[in-house]
């Protein structure tokens, strides 16, 4: 049986790269029955045009749906569409939640002659430890940096529709992925890229083009966990008067005391996500479900938490150390 990696999925067809050759396959009934989701990036065993087995994944993100990635490149446009810090903080928090390294890329640099955006971006995100690049797929500015960034890794581009994800990939690969026609520019809400696709740039370097999306909400975590996605807020938590402080209107909140050290747009995003997380908490309460905090902080790393059921079986494995001090289950 051959092994390979799914690089594209179109309806029922799975396209697999195995030793540099491409194969079109379908899923075996046995896999369909397990209702396992199959993602671009999954490694599989296949035979005679049928995928027989999914191999374990290193990680995955559900939106865009991709498995086994090293890094997310969050792409924003400095103009057309206008740079949206709230949206950017969503993608950043999302990458943090999945514990995947993120790099920030600001494209369409040719459209802005205003240095204040660059200064603002650096002043907010450089202290948080992010690599930042400015690019123009149109005139080639910064595309060498973009290419260098990709070397030896599997990166996924992530960002709203129209920011230039496919254009950037074209600019460094010589490929001709479909991009929005200039005459289509005024059409809003149209998505040019419709499927995730892994593009191999060389033997060790891959980039995944993805469809743009923007309606990502934090309606899958508890309010108390939101600050774990904001290290510059989370670091004050231990000094708050109340353990369950949401750093909003509570008294004795150490975060509120240090607001001069936190970028207002970041704090604003934090509060927005807390409101979304409250909706999730209500829903969970309404359904009467016991819910575990979905991830935890460990040595300054966010780890997606293993469920209590799986935790037991993990006890005998090397993972044991990683999860050994998992908090007790929490019901708020």
Ligand X SMILES: Nc1nc2c(ncn2[C@@H]2O[C@H](COP(=O)(O)OP(=O)(O)OP(=O)(O)O)[C@@H](O)[C@H]2O)c(=O)[nH]1
Interatomic CA distance for residues 32 and 13, integer angstroms? 13
Terminal Cα distance for the chain, rounded: 49
- Residue 37 or 190 with smaller CB distance to Mg ion: 190
- Beta-carbon neighbour count of residue 19 at 10 Å? 7
Could you tell me if 205 and 156 are in contact, meaning their C-beta atoms sit under 8 angstroms apart?
no
Residue with tokens 């991009």: 179
- Residue 160 or 277 with smaller CB distance to ligand X: 160
Minimum CB–partner distance for residue 169 and Mg ion (Å) = 8
Is residue 66 part of the contact set for Zn ion (CB under 5 A)? no
Q: Using CB under 5 A, which residues numbered 251 to 290 contact Zn ion?
A: 253, 255
Query: Which parts of this chain interact with ligand X (CB under 6 A)?
Result: 107-108, 110-111, 136-138, 161-167, 179-180, 182, 185, 191-193, 211-212
Alpha-helical runs (H) found in 143-235: 143-150, 165-173, 231-234
Is residue 166 part of the contact set for Mg ion (CB under 5 A)? yes
Residue span 121-160 as binding mask against Mg ion, x where in contact by CB under 5 A, dash where not? ----------------------------------------
Interatomic CA distance for residues 36 and 223, integer angstroms? 29
Residue span 223-242 as binding mask against Zn ion, x where in contact by CB under 5 A, dash where not? -----------------x--
- Residue 158 or 255 with smaller CB distance to Zn ion: 255
- Residue 10 or 191 with smaller CB distance to ligand X: 191
- Residue 171 or 293 with smaller CB distance to ligand X: 171
Minimum CB–partner distance for residue 41 and Mg ion (Å) = 18
- From the list 69-77, 163-171, 291-299, 304-312, the region that binds Mg ion by CB under 5 A is 163-171
Strands (E), the chain: 2-10, 13-18, 21-27, 43-47, 50-54, 60-61, 66-67, 71-77, 101-107, 131-134, 154-158, 197-202, 205-209, 295-298, 301-304
């Amino acid at each position: 049986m051959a092994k390979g990696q799914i690089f594209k999925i179109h309806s029922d067809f799975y396209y697999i790269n195995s030793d540099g050759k491409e194969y079109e396959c379908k899923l075996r009934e046995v896999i369909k029955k397990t209702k396992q989701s199959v993602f671009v990036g999954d490694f599989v065993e296949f035979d005679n045009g049928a995928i027989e087995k999914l191999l374990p994944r290193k990680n995955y993100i559900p939106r865009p749906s991709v498995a086994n990635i090293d890094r997310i490149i969050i792409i924003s446009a400095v103009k057309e569409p206008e740079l949206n810090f709230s949206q950017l903080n969503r993608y950043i928090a999302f990458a943090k939640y999945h514990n995947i390294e993120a790099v920030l890329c600001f494209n369409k640099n040719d459209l802005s002659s205003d240095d204040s955006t660059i200064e603002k971006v650096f002043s907010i995100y450089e202290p948080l430890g992010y690599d930042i690049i400015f690019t123009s797929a149109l005139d080639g500015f910064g595309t060498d940096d973009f290419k260098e960034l990709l070397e030896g890794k599997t990166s996924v581009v992530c960002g709203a529709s129209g920011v230039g994800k496919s254009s950037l990939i074209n600019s460094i690969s010589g490929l001709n992925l479909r991009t929005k026609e200039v005459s289509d520019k005024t059409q809003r809400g149209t998505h040019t890229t419709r499927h995730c696709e892994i593009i191999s740039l060389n033997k060790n370097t891959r980039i995944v083009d993805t469809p743009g999306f923007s309606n990502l909400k934090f309606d899958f975590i508890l309010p108390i966990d939101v600050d774990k996605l904001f290290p510059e807020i989370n670091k004050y938590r231990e000094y708050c008067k109340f353990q369950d402080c949401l750093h909003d209107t509570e008294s004795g909140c150490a975060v509120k005391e240090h607001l001069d050290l936190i970028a207002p747009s970041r704090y604003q995003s934090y509060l927005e996500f807390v409101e979304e997380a409250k909706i999730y908490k209500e829903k969970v309460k309404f359904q009467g479900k016991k819910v575990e905090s979905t991830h935890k902080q460990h040595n300054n790393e966010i780890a997606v938490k293993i469920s209590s059921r799986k935790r037991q079986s993990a006890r005998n494995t090397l993972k044991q150390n990683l999860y050994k001090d998992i908090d007790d289950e929490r019901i708020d």
